[in-house]
Chain A
């Protein structure tokens, strides 16, 4: 069980690192939003899965699933709001 949790945590941190590199390297605002939203959501999904496997109690697993659901509900919403605001205010930039 700990091996699976360790693999999931390392993979999750790798995805978050990829998101940070993409935020630093990509040339445009929209591509930066694209890099920072999806990879971070998936990395946090992996880290929370590893945390649920590590603690392996009923309460922590349910809270981890709820937090994953919250992240996957709100991260695209925040990215959409930022992109919409940037598109509306394109004249000022």
Chain B
């Protein structure tokens, strides 16, 4: 197969990831409680890391891989920090 077929697959993957991003934004906007929004934000960071991974294949530049690594680390730290902050200690 030629390279254009693989690029076509990558653009379809980007479109599907953007649809998933939009659905998660809806849940983030109308989440009934705060924890739903925390889960939605975690999923948003995962989806954006997936978008960056797919874009690193489109741009054919593996330097974007490190961006995804950093995003995952920050997402994990942020989720744990928010959950620990929301738990009242008394």
A contacts, CB < 8 Å to B: 2-3, 5-6, 9-10, 12-14, 16-17, 19-21, 23-24, 29, 32-33, 36, 40, 43-44, 47-48, 50-51, 54-55, 57, 59-60, 63-64, 67, 70-71, 74, 77-78, 81-82, 84-86, 88-89, 93
Contacts and interface: CB of A to CB of B under 8 A. Distances in A.
Interface residues of B, number: 47
B57 A36 contact: no
A10 B9 contact: yes
B53 A51 contact: yes
Contacts of A24: 23-24, 26-27
Nearest to A9: B13
